[in-house]
Amino acid sequence: MTEFVIETHALTKQFGDQLGVNTLDLHIPRGKIYCLLGRNGAGKTTTMRMLLNLVRPTSGNISLFGRPHTENPDKIYRRIGSLVESPGFYENLTGPENLKILARLRGMHRKDSIDYALSVVGLEKEPKKRYSNYSLGMKQRLGIAAAIMHEPELLILDEPINGLDPIGIHELRTFLLSLCKEKGITIFISSHVLSEVEQLADIIGVMHEGSLLEEVDMADLHQRNRQYVEFDVSNVNTAALLLERQFHTSDYSVLDHQTIRLYECIDQRGEINSCFVENHLVVSKVTVSEEKLEDYFSGLIGGNGNV
């Protein structure tokens, strides 16, 4: 039976006449990276703030680690690290100095907690650099260091790649994957950038206008969006016949009068191309691709790439 670190039932938040979050049912399993995907304004941040007890739900239930989130909250929330709003670090202090202040405010007693957090996020080699001289990627990593100083079991991050350059995004993605896979931390992250979510998530929840449209396992989604190879040829009927006779496959589709899409034998595309040419077909293009996840999501919420 799957153990859910976060589970909500009919979670709802009303702001006056506006429905911010509408009867949300979330299921975030232990040891996975779950990405809540949706446009800006979809309700992602409000959802995370309710989970962190920063905003009171209008109705519905929240369960954390299998218990109601209001049951012994001090104990429950010690098991969680979060980065939902930009942390208020002092510009003129170094990373370690900022973390020392936070540790004192939180009453943390583990002596090596700051060194541990800085080493996990890869900032231990620049202990004297002031926060004002940090890159955006370093600032995000210091924010995460603040969130993991107490070694949480669950990490909740709202749009952590916002404002990062491609190198910073890659570094953060690699870091989050290692936190989950190597340290077993469950990560709940929000984003509106599909291309990043696709490379990071184990599970995706698609949110639109306050409602959760679907929860889907990425492995299942990739199975639905299968890899294929396309051949643009002078005669698709001859090409189809050769695929069936020479390569014993019928797992293909004819897209138009010149394009045939093959879903298996992809590693044999060189041999297939040679076979086509030997049988007097003109091959004008060979394309290896994957059906775009954007197509799937645009069917749910519209848009492409950045949903």
Domain end call among 95, 127, 150: 150
Same domain, 5 and 143: no
Same domain, 142 and 3: no
Rounded-to-integer distance, Cα 206 and Cα 204, Å: 6
Same domain, 249 and 184: no
Rounded-to-integer distance, Cα 126 and Cα 81, Å: 23
Same domain, 59 and 102: no
What is the reported pTM? Answer: 0.76
Is the pLDDT reported for residue 304 higher than 60? no
Tell me the DSSP string of 153-186.
SEEEEESTTTT--HHHHHHHHHHHHHHHHHH--E
| 303 within a domain of the structure (yes/no) | no
Same domain, 250 and 165: no
Report the pLDDT averaged over residues 20-33: 96
Same domain, 64 and 199: yes
Same domain, 137 and 282: no
| 306 within a domain of the structure (yes/no) | no
For the chain, the average pLDDT equals: 89
Q: What are the Cα distances from residue 182, in Å, to 50, 174, 176, 179, 199?
A: 28, 11, 10, 6, 17
Same domain, 65 and 182: yes
Residue 94 · residue 127 · CB < 8 Å: yes
Provide CB contacts within 8 A for 98, sequence distance 6+. Answer: 89, 90, 131, 142, 146
| 118 within a domain of the structure (yes/no) | yes
End-to-end CA distance of the chain: 33
CATH number of the domain bearing residue 268:
3.30.70
Range of the domain at 57: 1-79+152-221
| 195 within a domain of the structure (yes/no) | yes
| 279 within a domain of the structure (yes/no) | yes
What is the token pair recorded at 301? 């919420």
Same domain, 114 and 177: no
Is the pLDDT reported for residue 94 higher than 90? yes
Q: What pLDDT was estimated at residue 140? A: 84
Share of the chain above pLDDT 90, in %: 59
Closest CA to 54 of 205, 185, 156: 156
| 42 within a domain of the structure (yes/no) | yes
| 208 within a domain of the structure (yes/no) | yes
If one counts the domains in the chain, the total is 3
Same domain, 72 and 4: yes
Q: What pLDDT was estimated at residue 120? A: 82
| 104 within a domain of the structure (yes/no) | yes
Q: What pLDDT was estimated at residue 121? A: 84
Domain end call among 99, 119, 150: 150
Domain end call among 127, 150, 173: 150
Same domain, 188 and 54: yes
Same domain, 31 and 131: no
Q: Which amino acid is at 4?
A: F
Q: What pLDDT was estimated at residue 141? A: 86
Residue 199: count of CB within 10 angstroms of its CB: 12
